[in-house]
Amino acid sequence: MAFSVSNARACALNSHHQCPLISSPTRILNLQTCKGLKPSSSFSSIRSANRSRRGLQVVCKAKEVVDEVRVVTDASWSELVITSKTPVLVEFWAPWCGPCRMIAPVIDELAKEYSGKISCFKLNTDDCPAIATQYGIRSIPTVLVFQNGEKKESVIGAVPKSTLTATVEKYLEA
């Protein structure tokens, strides 16, 4: 069996390497338990046609289901935040900011809990002052929530996780 991974890693599974998800070449994958793994459109026809052959392909869409806070910059702002199809949470921070360091683990937890439902980014205001100025960031940490490219809400300061969770929940599809 071979897995084709689109996130810059490839895992070729063969008889010497056992996959924890698959115990035999003919076993149907339970992709619902595996975040980011999605069958290609022709998955079932490939599986039935190639049951006796090794080489069943499953593509990992892990980069679409990221469970970590990624860095956004002036150069990537439009692509990652403005054109995003999912709601976006952006933390404006700086390395010297104590409250920013306090809230960072909370943002990390939210990124994991809402993986695939929202995108979480952090923007260093020292490195990208133009974006911070554009959105009127005068105090850090500030968390902005965007939906369909529009700023919907802001949360200022090192707030409890429950505050950020309630904010995120407002923008998730039912």
**pTM of the predicted model as reported, rounded to 2 decimal places:** 0.63
Architecture of domain 70-169: 3-Layer(aba) Sandwich (3.40)
Per-domain boundaries in the chain: 2-63, 70-169
Question: Which amino acids are annotated catalytic?
Answer: 97, 100
**Digitized pLDDT (tens) for each residue of the chain, 174 residues in all:** 343 333 333 333 333 333 344 333 444 444 444 444 444 444 444 444 444 445 555 544 444 445 789 999 999 999 999 999 999 999 999 999 999 999 999 999 999 999 999 999 999 999 999 999 999 999 999 999 999 999 999 999 999 999 999 999 999 864
What gap in Å lies between CA 3 and CA 45, rounded to an integer?
17
